[in-house]
Amino acid sequence: VQLQASGGGLVQAGGSLRLSCTASERTFSSYVVGWFRLAPGKERELVAAIRWTGGNGYYEDFARGRFTISKDNGENTVYLQMNSLKPEDTAVYYCAAVTKALDTIVVENTRSYDLWGQGTQVTVSS
């Protein structure tokens, strides 16, 4: 099974993008799906995460109020709607999934995730 991330692009500050993360198999299931980003000179950081069963998402402070993570059960896809984009949001965005049972899932920790999709570039111009 693979995760396919898409939806990145070039947008002006204040604009919006919607990223998609689709599992290659319709029978795919996981515990948590997260969106991470990696900007030049910085470490990979969590943007938002959501339980595979749905519910409210978890957001890092910089994403809360501007970004929305959601899951479409019918399409086996997790979305990241990004509004009010800023130049500092420029990064490669990755989706990842926790597919193995863990005693504790620390959503901010990249080591919790065992399946990663390829990145999609988001560039926000000022």
Mind listing the pLDDT tens digit for each residue in 16-73? 999 999 999 888 889 999 999 999 999 999 999 999 887 889 999 999 999 999 998 7
Q: Given the structure tokens 């620390």, which residue do they identify?
A: 106
Confidence of residue 103 (pLDDT cuts 50, 70, 90): confident
The answer to whether the beta carbons of residues 1 and 25 sit under 8 Å apart is: yes
- Pick the closest to residue 98 from 48, 50, 41, 57 (CA basis): 50
Residues in the chain: 126
Q: Which two tokens stand for residue 96?
A: 């990842």
